[in-house]
Structure 1
């Protein structure tokens, strides 16, 4: 991140800390990292300068932006004061979005962040001079020291929730943790929303979603993120689904959820969470479409294309099924088990069973003979 060229700084007044949104849920498997990455890109499309901080020791958010293996310096070094953010934050392919990556040291020394989780605003202070508008923090799915560090500085928490049978308990536990941090460490900590993710039209999920909406009210965003194959496809290509398919159900839902979250923060009317006016929805979508068409055209051209007509493909499949199995030229050869081993094993089993049955019959005949004498 180049503070002199990309991020204007006020000459007289001290720099204000950015609005910080922590993406967190104690329960894993709720699309937390996917939400953090798509939220960061969507906020950038709405015209904000955004910093994505990866505090998850798995480093999935870092890998989602093509940074692999994990760099030697990143979020852990900034929090502990061993590196300056201007030296370790990485540019991304999206103008206005920077990444503070996870590192191996974060994975190995997470316990060293325990004191920072008890100190109000340490991460906020480290990021005060960046000049970005919003910081999005991808937290681990546990009450680790890195999570406590993020919550101690966050403006608000966005909680992704997958409406499965265990979702309600995980959300309640997460809510209690947020309340505890607010009462003991960070009195300014608010809620940026509860986002239902990977939703499907099944009765169980719908019932869980209704319970969550009934209990948490307007804290639950109206927009839901549907479970679509495009989300997995985007992750495979290393793209946010908002860029791969901005007009599709999942991509558009993330963009609309971002706009709804911004509106929720604005309604809370907290002076420390003030943000510039966001661009319009159409402007944001146009920017996402532009990124889709230009920055990742080479990746999009690698998407699977099946030029064969359905009839031809079906006939070819039938022909392949009629042929004996052979090794594929495009894939690895699977070693076949020698036929004689299978035959011998079957014969051994059959002979053993016959022998045992014969012994039983012979014993029975002898016993009956003794009884008649």
Structure 2
């Protein structure tokens, strides 16, 4: 039977035919990502020099602690070389040396939303890489997937088609079926990162929520109330809302106390972002009339998918720097084959045990990711009074 014959046989229900074919491909891709037992694992390890830098102690101090039994002996290869430290090992060092960077209980956790009403700007990639950067550096992170496409859920080790039931997403809380968010929080394969997952059936919650919100706009603040109920366990909460102006994305704007807007350097994306600002201003003004009054500890624009080899992009970047000024994060995320190749596997650059392209491309990509996330880390720490003294010592206040 030819492809034409197959298509003709499904003409009665072409949407179902296309859905099933695409789902078969997605299932195959996801099966390739997960281990044979269906559990995603973090294969990335760090050298002793990298571990020392992350922990804030010298290599000699780590070796001495291992020798004295204060830390487990590092696993070694047959040649006697250290195999590398897992993130659990690095966190164990932080606990032993007292170098956890957690906020004080008197500091508020930062709830950061990566928001843009246009798709394809790199929003989910930002959310995943930022969450993982903070986890690598020892912070406690909760990721909240609000997008029914559920790519972030997949990145953090769950197959949304098989493992996430309708009652497992935020829908049950937003629709009043659950009264806290504890039921939805799952541990991930990343030490220090928990997840509230999403799945395709979360899409329908938008319509049910619309019916409830009519005449009761205060319900748009329910996500923030739910996050406040679990926030004590975290330093950072990362929201990945859908790329559309709807009630779920508005709930994310209300729940967040920090906002990052990813924007690629293209005129159509710049125009879309300008419209995004106008819609957010109008939306927040309407909410304030009903007593819903969100505010942000910081608001930044992040340059995404930048290819400096393209002259048109370079000129748009200069224009963005002039227009946005200090609201634009200094470090761009450049268009990189390393990110593309990792995304094709439902993974991130941070979790790769080695380069997917070349060492140079991988190193440059990590440099830009670390640079942008380091900026965000400083902004987050500036909101915590318990970090102000150490920030001043580092010359960052």
Q: Judge same fold: TM > 0.5, yes or no.
A: yes
Contact between 2:153 and 2:160, CA under 8 Å: does it hold in 1? no
User: 2:274 is matched with which residue: 160, 172, 186?
Assistant: 172
Cα distance change, pair 21–194 in 1 and its aligned pair in 2 (3 A): same
**Normalization by structure 2: what TM-score?**
0.60
Gaps of 5+ in 1: 1-13, 268-272, 281-373
SS in 1 for 2:190: coil
Q: Distance in 2 between matches of 1:88 and 1:174?
A: 30
Q: Distance in 2 between matches of 1:180 and 1:45?
A: 38
Cα distance change, pair 209–159 in 1 and its aligned pair in 2 (3 A): same
Partner of 1:226: 334
Partner of 1:123: 223
C-alpha RMSD over aligned residues: 2.7
- Do residues 77 (structure 1) and 168 (structure 2) align? no
Contact between 1:242 and 1:252, CA under 8 Å: does it hold in 2? no
Partner of 1:238: 346
Partner of 1:322: none
- Do residues 109 (structure 1) and 205 (structure 2) align? yes
- Do residues 150 (structure 1) and 252 (structure 2) align? yes
Offset at residue 16 of structure 1 (A): 7.8
Partner of 1:256: 371
Cα distance change, pair 218–99 in 1 and its aligned pair in 2 (3 A): same
**Normalization by structure 1: what TM-score?**
0.64
Offset at residue 266 of structure 1 (A): 5.1
1:276-315 pair list within 5 angstroms:
277=387
Q: Distance in 2 between matches of 1:123 and 1:211?
A: 36
Q: Distance in 2 between matches of 1:67 and 1:41?
A: 16
Q: Distance in 1 between matches of 2:185 and 2:350?
A: 23
Partner of 2:114: 23
Answer with 1 or 2: which has the greater Rg: 1
Contact between 2:261 and 2:301, CA under 8 Å: does it hold in 1? yes
Which digits, 9 at most, give the CA deviation of each residue in 1:186-226, with x for residues without a partner?
A: 34135431111111021111111111111111010000111
Offset at residue 17 of structure 1 (A): 6.2
Contact between 2:381 and 2:387, CA under 8 Å: does it hold in 1? no
Q: Distance in 1 between matches of 2:121 and 2:301?
A: 12
Q: Distance in 2 between matches of 1:258 and 1:37?
A: 11
Aligned residues: 261
Partner of 1:274: 384
